[in-house]
Structure 1
């Protein structure tokens, strides 16, 4: 498994997002100002934070490529997750700014009629970012990267935000001027929702949280290996896109060291057929018929 090659692919995804966000941020802010659209301007400000978030992702991926050293025996893969955490915090701050600005406009009823150019830019941006999302999401599945997946979800959120901005601008243009700042408010709330989701996923991983359904699948895979009498304990955690598994199994007390070791190798091979980026440490105990299981 060339996991470092996968990280390089993730870096290319981050660079693609940075280029796309810089282009769209400049386009939306300029056209939003000229065309008097709060929704498009809010969308453009959102993209400026996406540039910073993507830079954090790129830096995290670069650091995660550093091999293990004396005080990082497991490598530096968690910097990838930390970058997702930083990105989510930046997104929350922007969401608060956008929501406050939209609420102030709605309360003051200081509406301006946006031009149709802003609607065209918003619609174009939506389709553009959805294409970026599809590319990054497929790549995230291929390399199993939490950070790239978070970036892809942010791309999708940005696409929906742009489509929403388009509808808001269109509504304002046909006689509902309040719809543009109202859409800006929804944009801010959507940014905040996406940020909270990314924050939760990153925090869950950093605190050694692990998907229970995946853990049950791993338990089933270990139990299916010939020679395993009982799975007495199993734990798993994420380190970047790697899964580290600690398992305690019981085997026949009549087996010698070589035979017991062969079972552990079968376990590792079986798990990797389902989850490629896994590292499994198996502790072996003798199986006794009258010994009660300690459970998982």
Structure 2
């Protein structure tokens, strides 16, 4: 995979998200405060969080795409997960703010002034977010980027949230105002759930979670097909950004020559490098038994 191509694509995802969310932020808050619609104001504050998330995506992508150097021999890929975690924290903050405002509006039985502009803005938000979602999710899946996928999830959530906002506006037209506050609460809970999801994905990588057990068994099976190997002692992995370094411990006949042992190690490395997202393979050879 061309890292520069990946960097450019995710950069475009971030920039499109920033521009689209700024546009939605402005129109949502103007109409929301003008009509005193809690659902629309909550939706607008969510867009403010989206601007921050897209900006963090832009910065994180720039750092994670920096080539390896003497201090970072395996590159700066983990920055993507650090900045994804920052996005999750921002979502928690936005969720709490929206939840508090919405509960207050329910307690105080606050009503809003119906305006057809509320419907127009909600529909515009749904269309813009649909476009941003499909664009971001395609890039995220193609380049296996948590940052792009996190942005896509955020856009997807906004589609549902703006749909709920639209529903509360329509019901408000028929003087059913309490739904407006309830929608605000639902929006806050949905944002919090998304934050937890992104946090868990980032945390797993930053805490050096091992490779999937099914993939590990497949690797062991592949290694055992190599002639001259006695058994596999262990396979561990260390995440580096989107990829992994494998640390493989094997045992061979103790009377085997260094050259023969090195040949088996080379075959193991070549075989395991064929798996997706493997950056490097380190093979340690142990003696299986001694012959007298």
Query: TM-score normalised to the size of structure 1?
Result: 0.87
Aligned to 1:87: 87
SS in 2 for 1:71: coil
Partner Cα distance (1:171, 1:223) in 2: 63
Partner Cα distance (1:40, 1:87) in 2: 22
Aligned to 1:24: 24
Change (3 A) 1:162 1:271: farther
Query: TM-score normalised to the size of structure 2?
Result: 0.89
Residues 265-276 of structure 1 mapped to structure 2, 5 A cutoff: 265-276=266-277
Q: Which moved further from structure 2: 43-52 or 254-263?
A: 254-263
Q: Is the 8 A contact 1:120 1:166 kept in 2?
A: no
> What is the CA distance between 1:253 and its match in structure 2?
4.4
Q: Is the 8 A contact 2:7 2:61 kept in 1?
A: yes
Any idea what the Cα deviations from partners look like across 1:66-116, whole Å, max 9, x if unmatched?
222333233222111111111111111111110000000000001114323
> What is the CA distance between 1:276 and its match in structure 2?
4.0
Change (3 A) 1:229 1:155: farther
> What is the CA distance between 1:152 and its match in structure 2?
1.7
- What root-mean-square deviation, in Å, do the aligned CA atoms of Structure 1 and Structure 2 show? 2.4
Aligned to 1:111: 111
Any idea what the Cα deviations from partners look like across 1:105-146, whole Å, max 9, x if unmatched?
000001114323212321331232133122212211211122
Change (3 A) 1:221 1:125: farther
List alignment gaps of at least 5 residues for structure 2.
Answer: none
SS in 1 for 2:274: helix
SS in 2 for 1:274: coil
Any idea what the Cα deviations from partners look like across 1:182-225, whole Å, max 9, x if unmatched?
10111111111111211122122111124534653553454354
Aligned to 2:12: 12
Change (3 A) 1:247 1:110: same
Change (3 A) 1:287 1:46: same
Change (3 A) 1:115 1:19: same
List alignment gaps of at least 5 residues for structure 1.
Answer: 291-296
Change (3 A) 1:289 1:47: farther
Number of residue-to-residue matches in the alignment:
290
Residues 147-296 of structure 1 mapped to structure 2, 5 A cutoff: 147-213=147-213, 215-217=215-217, 219-220=219-220, 222-223=222-223, 225-227=225-227, 228-253=229-254, 255-288=256-289
Q: Which moved further from structure 2: 58-67 or 249-258?
A: 249-258
SS in 1 for 2:251: strand
Partner Cα distance (1:117, 1:140) in 2: 34
> What is the CA distance between 1:252 and its match in structure 2?
4.4
Partner Cα distance (2:221, 2:2) in 1: 24
Change (3 A) 1:181 1:252: same
Which stretches of structure 1, 4 residues or longer, exceed 6 Å deviation after superposition? none
Change (3 A) 1:7 1:252: farther
Partner Cα distance (1:119, 1:268) in 2: 59
Q: Is the 8 A contact 1:225 1:266 kept in 2?
A: no
Task: Confirm or deny that 1:102 pairs with 2:102.
Answer: yes
